[in-house]
Amino acid sequence: MNPEKKKQIRDFIDSLDKQEQIWANGYLEGLLQEGSPMPNLPAKPLGENKKITIAYGTESGNSKKIANLFASRAKQEGIHAKLVSLDQYRLADLPKEEYFLTVISTQGEGEPPASAKKFYDHIHQNGFKLPKLKYGVLALGDTSYPMFCKAGEDVDHQLGHLGGERIVDIQRCDVDFEQEASTWMNDVLQKLSGSKVDNLAPVKTTKKPGGKKIYQGEILTNINLNDRGSSKQTHHIEIGCEEVFYKPGDSLGLVPFNPTVTVEDIIALTGIDQERTFVHRNDTYTAYELLHKKLNIVYLPERVVAKYAVHVEQEIPAVKTGLLDLLKKYPVKDAAHFEVFLQQLEPTTPRLYSIASSLESLDGEVHLTVAKDAYTLEEELKYGLCSDHLCSLKAGDKIEFYIHHNDQFRLPQDDQDVIMIGPGTGIAPFRAFLSERESAGAAGRNWLFYGDQHFTTDFLYQTELQQWLESGVLSMLDVAFSRDQAEKIYVQHKIKSRANEFIQWLQNGAFLYVCGAKKMSEDVEKTILDLIEKSGAGLNPTAYLDELKSNGRYLKDVY
């Protein structure tokens, strides 16, 4: 495009207010996706007196995309739409709202995304009423998980409980959400406009290869990165798959199989015919297949234990336990009795692992950094179901997986600086970042903070990191090994020791990334807030971090 046209577009965009820019964005997106001719520009007058708030809570970015498109379509109908992320929404405004629409996803065990947690907790405190509110909820989820769309269901229920009136019923959407989302938007706009509006074309998103596709891979390498004497096992696992597609920041997802010995013990104990077939989520499986590959039998949540207690008519403590232990202590009457409960078991929850490689440097491979989870339960040493499964795989073993795309944890432009904070297995996505930037010849500087217990036994990817430091791919590397001295030193202490440079990088536009345990991320954030407050730059710490978040410069992948 020539400079004159660029200037004309820039001048036109600058002449628009925020809501008009949102409309223009959605309008152009619609043109590109549908290839439709230019429609008439004047907005329809149907809902010109309506003002609505569209708030979104997102983890992977889909809720934000839908909310943006919804706002632009509302504008086309003459409806004034305020668009806001739930982590930026002023909670004090909720009782004043007349029309409130939210698009919210569900994570893990029915939890809201991190960006919606503050809002979710607020509406569940029950300290207020919302008699003026008219609302609607579009819930995004994944039927692979037991608590499908639970966060959206909770929000829908609670807004009603507080006195709000539903504009339309909640819409639950699976990973293929396009048609359902469009139908919901159409229903909402018809209600708001008071008359029929033009049917909306399905939401169109850019579908990259590998969205929810199940890949067939082969283990190429599986080595323990920790040296002898370490209290940990952290495995570097390389998987070969020629057609795999992902970007740095994405995760690999898989559903682990239950141990064969556990399945066989359950079959022997209950007397169930392992070849008897059952319908599970519209497919037919044998009892053995269900117990081995589909159902959660190793770590039953308390809600499932409570169901079992009712089924066997026994008083059972509300604790997390395994199905085999339950059957031994509180046996079923016979095989038929067990068959009934079998169908109340929940599917195994997929596990996600940050990808530790870049396709730019390793075509047809995906690497993982997996810590073998070990813990003691009732004086017995146990291991995490998925981490134990992965760490036991050998070269040549086959593995099924999918790619979980995460557009909320991406590298910036090549000329931007990045600060990465990733102790332990939190190093995984940053190994991918550095590989990508090395392959791209990125000009931006890279600063990594890494930590673990001991330098000699727990320095993951030490040789690679030192090579990147020597070659200049890594501009700075700060490491903290907590158990190598009397006083424990963590990554936040290293950040504090580099306070001036750290703040200077941020002030100069660096992007900040944190990956690893949630407790670590909270400690790191407290340290950064303290550094900002003491920087002498006259900044409001909380407001400054919030601004970084809203500008996409402070990104977290924590667990």
Domains and CATH numbers, the chain: 12-193 (3.40.50.360), 215-253+350-404 (2.40.30.10), 260-342 (no CATH), 418-558 (3.40.50.80)
- Say whether pLDDT at 559 is over 90: no
Q: What pLDDT is stored for residue 208 in this prediction?
A: 37
pLDDT grade for 7, boundaries at 50, 70 and 90? low
Q: Report CA-CA distances (Å) from 502 to 449, 478, 505, 509.
A: 11, 12, 5, 11
pLDDT given at position 313: 96
- What is residue 335's predicted lDDT score, i.e. its pLDDT? 97
Which of 212, 248, 557, 176 shows the shortest CA–CA distance to 400? 212
pLDDT at 98 over 80: yes
The whole-number pLDDT of residue 146 equals 79
Average pLDDT over residues 130-145: 91
Determine the Cα–Cα distance for residues 399 and 248; give it in Å rounded to an integer: 21
Comparison of pLDDT for 25 and 523, the residue scoring more: 523
The pLDDT value given to residue 116 = 93
Q: What is the dihedral of CA 118, 120, 125, 126, to 10 degrees?
A: 140
pLDDT for residue 293:
93
pLDDT in tens, 547-557: 998 899 999 99
How many of the other CB atoms lie within 10 Å of CB of 54?
24
Is residue 473 within 8 Å of 461, Cβ to Cβ? no
Mean pLDDT of 355-370: 96
Mean pLDDT of 141-170: 92
pLDDT band at 452 (very low <50, low <70, confident <90, very high): very high
pTM check: above 0.95:
no
Position 174 scores a pLDDT of 85
Look at residue 381 in the predicted model and tell me its pLDDT: 82
* Residue 45: band (very low, low, confident or very high) from pLDDT cuts 50, 70, 90: very low
When the pLDDT of each residue in the chain is averaged and rounded to a whole number, the result is: 88
| Between 409 and 299, the higher pLDDT residue | 409
- Contact by Cβ (8 Å): 55, 133: no
Output the pLDDT for position 29.
52
What number is the average pLDDT over the span 413-434? 98
* CA–CA dist 242, 182 (Å, integer): 35
For the residues 288-304, what does the mean pLDDT come to? 93
The whole-number pLDDT of residue 319 equals: 82
- Bigger pLDDT: 24 or 199? 24
Share of the chain above pLDDT 90, in %: 71
Provide the b/e sequence for 259-274 (b: ≥16 CB within 10 Å): beebbeebbeebebeb
pLDDT for 251-289, tens place per residue? 999 999 999 999 999 999 999 999 999 999 888 999 999
Burial 371-407 (b: 16+ CB within 10 A, else e): bbeeeeeeeeeebbbbbbbbbebeeeeebebbbbbbb
Q: Give the mean pLDDT of 12-28.
A: 58
Assess whether pLDDT exceeds 80 at residue 355.
yes
145 compared with 274, residue with greater pLDDT = 274
pLDDT computed for residue 185 by the predictor: 93
- How does pLDDT run across 191-238, given as a tens digit for each residue? 887 755 444 444 443 333 334 789 999 999 999 999 999 999 999 999
Cα(first)–Cα(last) distance of the chain, in Å? 44
Q: What is the mean pLDDT of residues 434-438?
A: 97
